[in-house]
Amino acid sequence: METGPHRDAGIDVVPNILIMARPQKDGETLEQFAASITSQEHPHAISVVHCPTEKCFALGATKPGRYEPNGDGIVKMTFFARPALPASELSPAE
């Protein structure tokens, strides 16, 4: 998804929103999933703006020079997992 453009520092900025979803691998933690997709970003912990589930965390990263000559790119990621469904919701309806 794309929003904008928004005017910032005299240029139009068009933020992008990416949603990544996939089933959890056997034994994989949310932190391991985050590490698998952020290894090149060198992220750091940031405050969570909105947590849609009981457990979530946020990471941020900077991409130096991404918008040369107008500055760096900022990446913000929120990670959360859907709560486990009760067995009754996993069984086919009779």
Running along the chain, 94 residues long, what does each successive block of 10 average in pLDDT? 77 81 88 85 86 88 80 86 70 57
Query: Is residue 18 a part of any domain in this protein?
Result: no
Q: Is the dihedral of CA 60, 61, 67, 68 positive or negative?
A: positive
Domain membership flag for residue 66: yes
Say if 23 falls within a structural domain. no
Please name which of 62, 93, 92, 64 lies closest in space to residue 77, comparing C-alpha atoms. 62
Of 2, 7, 10, 6, the C-alpha closest to 70 is 10
Is 1 among the domain residues?
A: no
Q: Is residue 16 part of a domain?
A: no
Asked if residue 45 is part of any domain, the answer here is yes
Count of beta carbons in the 10 Å neighbourhood of residue 37 = 13
Domain region containing 49: 41-82
Predicted TM-score of the model (pTM): 0.68
The count of domains in the chain is 1
